[in-house]
Every structure is written in C-alpha cells, then in structure tokens.
Structure 1
Amino acid sequence: MPNYQFLTPFEFKNGLTLKNRVVMSPMTTMTSFYNGMITTDELNYYAARAGGPGMVITGVANVDASGKGFEGELSIASDDMIPGMTKLANVIHQNGTKAILQIFHAGRKSNHMILRGHQPVSASAIAAVYPPDSEQPRAMTTIEILDLIKAFGDATKRAILAGFDGVELHGANTYLLQQFYSANSNQRTDEWGGSRDKRLRFPLAVLKSVRDAIDQYATKPFVLGYRISPEEIETPGIRLADSLYLVDRIKNQVDYIHMSMGSYKRTSLNDKTNKQTLISQFAAHTNGVVPLIGIGSVEQPADAEAVLADGANLVAVGRELLREPQWVQKVQTGDVDSIRTQLSPADMDELAIPPVMQTYLTTSFKTVMHFTTDTDKAQNYQDELAPMEGFEKKL
C-alpha cells in the first residue's frame, strides 16, 4: 500500500475509528421519493462508492417538512423514515466504512412550490440575495424555534435507531443554522437575534438538543459533526472572524468540524490582504481540540496529502468520487494512472449516478464537474463561491 497519510486510520475521542482519513462529502442526489424516503437508485449510488472511504456523509436530510429545500431530498422527519434509513446505513457500512447522516433545515433557501403552498421560514422575513428571485420567508415564532430545536434531537434519535455512526449538522451553504448566525438573514430583536452571541443561540441550542439525544440513546460511539461555510459575500454577512468565533464556541461540543468550500487552496474572499489558506486558519483554532475536515477540489493523492499537510485531520472528497467511485481502492493498489478526473456523460449510468442527478450535474453543476464534453475552461473556485456553497446563478 502506498505510504500516504490519508490512508492511515483515524480515531475520534469517543472511540469511533475510521479505516482511513478519506471522507465522502455530502452531495445532493435529488433522487428521494416525494416524501423523503430513500430510493433504490440512491442505495445503488452509495453502494458504488461506500467501500473505499473511511467515512461517508450522506446528502442532507430534513428534520421537519418545513425545512425541505429541494425536490428529491431525503427526510428524517418521522419514524416512517427509519426502515429506509436503516437500509442506507447498511449499504454504507460495507468494508467497515462508517455512515454519517447529514441533517438540516433549509430555511429561506426554499419556496412555496417545494413546500406545497407554504411560505418558507427563516430567522427574519428577509429574502436570500442569491438567487436574485428568492422568495421572502416568514420569521419563525419562538414556539416554532423551540419545536425545531426538539426536531433536530428527534432526528438524531432516528439516525441512532437506523444504525448510523453519527450525524452532521449542516450549518453551511446558507441554510437555516447559518441564517440564524448571519446578520444578513437574522435581524431579529428578541432573544434569538441582535448581537453575535444572540444570533448564535439557535445553533448552540440545536447542538445541545442533538448531544442530549446522543447521550440518551446511543449505545456505541456516535459522532456529532458541524459543517460550516467560512465566509459570506453579502453585506452585512458572516466574515472569517465570525466563523472562527463560532468554531471556538462549539469546538468542545462537537466531534469534528467540516469546512464547506470549492477549493482547498482558498484564501479569504473578503480580505484580499489575508494570504493564508482558510484551512490553515481554521486548523489554528481546532488543532489539538477537535478534528477538522478539509475539502475542495481534491482529485489526486497529492491534493489529499496537501489538505492534511495544511492542518486538516481528515480530507473530504466529493465530485471526484462521482467521477471515480473506486478512488480510494485505486490509490491503495497503486493504480493512480487509471483514476478518472473527468466525467463522460456517457458513463454516468455505469457509475450508478441516478438519472435525476445526471440532469442536475449537467445543468446547475455543469461548471464544476469537468465533463469531457466541456468546451469552457474548468473553474477552480479558489477565489469565488461555487454552486454547491449556496451561490446560485440563474442559467
């Protein structure tokens, strides 16, 4: 086996051990049933990719019907979902891979069509800046906030019963947890908004709800992760100092922190005088306290090694596992030359990419997929937000 750091095992503080440090990052399939139940197409998609990485994080699942952000989204909002989720966890567990369920609420990143006539909800009644035609949400009431905090805990209990090894709170990509923390989307004047610490109250309360569920129901090591976007480009909005403050507030309450960005080489989008990579700046706050998952356009083994050398403990691989489901196995056997870093549209069925996801990849995600049929130069998203980070441009 090649002598790569990312192929070595990793153990979390609670005892959960990964066979290697490669994480399959959460990716949208848009392939669940109308009510959020898992489909066979999705199970086949995960089965094709699960054997290699040490840990697989699923595409996001909503914890409440009001949090559905797109059609074909997974749900963990009711006990009806447990049988399907059990199948998903079992599929991911092949060859000792650990299964993490990502959970969220979309907040204002939804619309009345997806919500079957209901208005989206958020911290405040302020529409998202991107895309420009986003619908104005309704500000959540205090009772709705408290109910949703409980819903995150209930969802965690279901993930435990389904056999997952952890949950990841999706606090990135401008979804509800991030909306409450951002001065752009949270302009409340009650106890859930105002100062930075007050805007942080909702994410911290959700963390506590999830941690309480883990303490009550988990009978084996079960990890809690938190995904975070380093910066927003809106004004007002989250800046790097705000994200590092958030990391400092939660790093003793979570089992890992997972960054969300399009390139592992990225530096600050807002402060061009700050030349340090974002990974290294996050690592300065997490080192020795909590594991950090670095991410962003990892395609070759050298990229994965660079992420770890920059201070991350684990490296997430996303789009590359769409192009090359056997990425880890090929690296392990020294078969690096056969790794696909481009994707032929003609190969997507063979790669077990669900049909609806294929449409999504060839439209909304076309600029990030490196299709062999592309005539445009590939973007690296080192200096700009990528589509998967919540920055949606209308085609």
Structure 2
Amino acid sequence: MTEKYNFLKPYTFKNGVTIKNRIVIPPMTEAAALENGAVSQDELRYFDIHTGGVGMFIIPTMNVSDDGKGFEGEPSVADDKFMPGLKKLASTVKQNGTKAILQIFHAGRMSNSKILRGVQPVSASAVAALRPNAETPRELTEPEIEQIIEDFGQATRRAIQAGFDGIELHGANTYLMQQFFSPHSNRRTDKWGGNLENRMRFPLEVIKSVHAAVEKYADDKFIVGYRISPEEIEEPGIRLDDTLKFIDVLADQPINYLHVSMGYAWRTSLNDKSDDEPIILKVKKVVNDRLPLISVGSIEKPADAEKIVDSGIDFAAIGRESIRDPKWVQKVELGQENSIRYQMSLTELDELGVNSAFLDFLYALHADLHLVGSDQPKDDFAEKLGGVEGN
C-alpha cells in the first residue's frame, strides 16, 4: 500500500471506533427501492459493487415516518416490516472494514401529495418552498412534532438492530430538520419557532431521541452523525451567522461527526460575496476539534481529497466520482491512479449497478446530463451531476 496520501491513514473517533481511511461515500439517492419502501435487490447489488474501499459508506436517506417520504423509489426505515431488507443492506455494505452509516430523514414540505398518495405534506409552518409547483404544507401540531421526534428514535433503534455501524441525521438540503431551523419555512410563534434558540429546538430534540435509542439498544461504538447545509438564499432564510451559532451548539451534543453539505467543498458565502473565506474553514474554527468534519463537493481526484485532509478536515467525501469508479480507493492504494475513471459510459451502467430508475433520477435532476455513448454530445459526467451528492 502506498503511503503517499494522508487520506489513506485511519481515523479514530473519541468513542474508540477506528475508520480505516478518511474517504467517505456520501448519501446519494438512487431511487431504486420497492414501491412500499423496502430495500430492493437492485439496491443491494449497487451497494455490493461500490462498497469495500472507503472508510465510511453513508447509505442514501430513508424516511422515518410514512408522511416523510420525499421521492419515488425512496427506501423507508419507518416500520419493523423493513428489517429483513435493512439487515441485508447493512451486511452488504460492511465489507472489507467499511463502516455502514444509515442516513435518516423526514422530507417535510419537500414532498407532495402525489408522492404521499393523496396526503398533504407537512412542515414547521404552512409555507410553500420557493420552487416550481411546490405545494403548501400543513403546519404540524405539537403532538405530531413529538411523534416525529420519536420516529427518529425508533428509526435509530431499527438501524442498530439491523447491524448498521451508525446513523446520520439529515439536517440539510431543505428537509424537515432544516425547515424547523429556517426562518423561511418556520414562522411559528410557539416554542418550536421564532428566535434562534426555538428554531434549534426540533433538531436538538431529535438528537436527544436518537441518543436515548443508542444508549438503550447499542454500545458506545455506534456512530451518530449530523449533516447540515450552511445557508439558504431565500429571504428570510438561513444565514451563515445563525448556522455557525447552531454548529457551536451541535459540537457539544452527543454526536460523533458533522457533515457539511455543499456542492463545492471550498464554497464561500452565497449571500455575502465580499467574504472570500471558505465556509468549511469557518466551520472548522467554530468546532475547534470538538467534532471531526466531513467535507463534500466536487472532490474527484486524489489531489482534491488530499487538499481537504491537509487543511485539517478529517474526512473527504467522493460522491459522483464513486459512481464512476467503485475502486477509486483501491486504485490509489495500489498506486494505480492513472487508471481511475473520470467519465462514465452508458455501456458501463450495468457493471456499475446503475439501473434505469437510478439513471432516470439523475436525468430528472439534471436535464442537461450528458453521458459518453449516449445520443447526446460527449461530456464529462462529473460536470453534469452537481446535485446528486446533496440528497
């Protein structure tokens, strides 16, 4: 094994869990679950092909409540009936020392009544998202909020019993946990909304619920992560100052890592163009070594990942690139970097485990998606999958 790169070195969490290297596959929606939310054979095949090299594999997000489903083909962890598939999934991903982390979420207003089979989506407040054809959600009652918090705890219990090494709370990408934090989607005047402290309450209560499940059903080696989006462009919306204050609180919670979700790892503020300091470095200062960080966004080549780790960020997540080349880590370990694939052809979809549902999802996200070998012009696949790492 080459010792050329620092990202190949192991990392040990404060709870004693050692991750074999600093490379992570972030949660990337493949939209290939069965209609009822059960894990499909196609999903198992995809994960079997892509696991084994990275230190941690974060499984694409699963809903914790029936009304939390956000898209078709989304797997669910909302009921014990899904346990057989969840156990197979955990076992499949845990190859060659790779840690299997299950991301869990509630979509909130980022769903619609068609996906929910006639049920109106819910959110912190009855405010529609600023996107085409967005439906106005129904404001959650306090008992419903408490139930969803409990649902996160039950989902964690299922993840533990299924054999996963950890869970990641999806507090990013405009889903329900972020909706409660955002002044755009949260216009409440009770204890769940209003000032910054109240808007932090829902995600912090979810963390408490998850921690209670971990203490009851797991040992101290179970990993709990939190994914966060730093800003929104809506007005009113989340601004970086509030996020950094929230992160300062998160760093003292019973979680094991913080995953900063951005399309470009070195992105600067969307709202303050005069600020040229990368957000991830601002986050690092606030966290101040209390939690390890995962950075994601357009990390493709070994040099990209090394720049992240050399900057004091603990983990680098390679999303789109891991789809194109499941053996990325292994090739780097063997000194075969010249053989890494940075494009993907339609002729390679089957060997990569990318079925038609996954491909349709990618096209739906990116209408200008070009694939080598398609009837569209040849193009670099990496440049056409900008949002897939953020799901």
**Structure 1 length normalisation: TM-score?**
0.94
Q: Are the aligned partners of 1:262 and 1:380 in contact in 2 as well (CA < 8 Å)?
A: no
Match of 2:45 in 1: 44
CA RMSD of aligned residues (A): 1.9
Q: Are the aligned partners of 1:100 and 1:165 in contact in 2 as well (CA < 8 Å)?
A: yes
Q: Are the aligned partners of 2:342 and 2:380 in contact in 1 as well (CA < 8 Å)?
A: no
Gaps of 5+ in 1: none
Match of 1:249 in 2: 249
Instruction: Give the 3 Å change call, closer, same or farther, for CA 152–257 of structure 1 in structure 2.
Output: same
Match of 1:278 in 2: 279
Instruction: Give the 3 Å change call, closer, same or farther, for CA 331–380 of structure 1 in structure 2.
Output: closer
Instruction: Give the 3 Å change call, closer, same or farther, for CA 252–320 of structure 1 in structure 2.
Output: same
Q: Are the aligned partners of 2:183 and 2:236 in contact in 1 as well (CA < 8 Å)?
A: yes
| Deviation of 1:242 (Å) | 1.5
SS at match of 1:95: coil
Instruction: Give the 3 Å change call, closer, same or farther, for CA 39–53 of structure 1 in structure 2.
Output: same
Match of 1:348 in 2: 349
1:158 paired with 2:155, answer no
Q: Aligned letter for 1:197?
A: E
Query: What percent identity do the matched residue pairs reach?
Result: 51
Q: Aligned letter for 1:280?
A: L
SS at match of 1:173: coil
* Aligned-partner Cα distance in 2 for 1:259–1:177: 14
Give runs of aligned pairs for residues 46-85 of structure 1, distance below 5 A.
46-85=47-86
Q: Are the aligned partners of 2:26 and 2:389 in contact in 1 as well (CA < 8 Å)?
A: no
Q: Are the aligned partners of 1:44 and 1:352 in contact in 2 as well (CA < 8 Å)?
A: yes
| Deviation of 1:362 (Å) | 3.0
Give runs of aligned pairs for residues 160-179 of structure 1, distance below 5 A.
160-179=160-179
Q: Aligned letter for 1:146?
A: E
SS at match of 1:74: coil
Match of 2:184 in 1: 184
Task: Between 367-376 and 161-170, report the one with greater CA deviation.
Answer: 367-376
SS at match of 1:59: strand
| Deviation of 1:277 (Å) | 1.0
Deviations 1:184-227 (A, max 9, x none): 00001111111011111101100100011101110350011000
Deviations 1:221-269 (A, max 9, x none): 0011000011111111011112111111111211000011111121111
Q: Are the aligned partners of 1:23 and 1:315 in contact in 2 as well (CA < 8 Å)?
A: yes
Deviations 1:294-340 (A, max 9, x none): 11111100000111123310111111000111100011111111111
SS at match of 1:226: strand
Give runs of aligned pairs for residues 127-276 of structure 1, distance below 5 A.
127-130=128-131, 132-219=132-219, 221-253=221-253, 254-276=255-277
Task: Between 278-287 and 5-14, report the one with greater CA deviation.
Answer: 278-287
Q: Are the aligned partners of 2:346 and 2:371 in contact in 1 as well (CA < 8 Å)?
A: no
Q: Aligned letter for 1:121?
A: V
How many residues get paired? 387
Q: Are the aligned partners of 2:16 and 2:221 in contact in 1 as well (CA < 8 Å)?
A: yes
Match of 1:313 in 2: 314
Gaps of 5+ in 2: none
| Deviation of 1:162 (Å) | 0.3
| Deviation of 1:365 (Å) | 3.3
* Aligned-partner Cα distance in 2 for 1:235–1:390: 21
Task: Between 73-82 and 372-381, report the one with greater CA deviation.
Answer: 372-381
* Aligned-partner Cα distance in 2 for 1:40–1:287: 42
Deviations 1:65-109 (A, max 9, x none): 010000110100011111111100100111011000000000000
Task: Between 322-331 and 348-357, report the one with greater CA deviation.
Answer: 348-357
**Structure 2 length normalisation: TM-score?**
0.95
1:25 paired with 2:26, answer yes
| Deviation of 1:274 (Å) | 0.8
Instruction: Give the 3 Å change call, closer, same or farther, for CA 371–296 of structure 1 in structure 2.
Output: farther
SS at match of 1:188: coil
Q: Are the aligned partners of 2:263 and 2:390 in contact in 1 as well (CA < 8 Å)?
A: no
Match of 1:336 in 2: 337
Runs (4+) of structure 1 exceeding 2 A deviation are 365-381, 385-391
Task: Between 353-362 and 5-14, report the one with greater CA deviation.
Answer: 353-362
SS at match of 2:365: coil
SS at match of 1:48: helix
Task: Between 372-381 and 30-39, report the one with greater CA deviation.
Answer: 372-381
SS at match of 2:102: strand
Q: Aligned letter for 1:6?
A: F
1:35 paired with 2:36, answer yes
Task: Between 327-336 and 302-311, report the one with greater CA deviation.
Answer: 302-311
Q: Aligned letter for 1:209?
A: S
* Aligned-partner Cα distance in 2 for 1:369–1:7: 32
SS at match of 1:210: helix
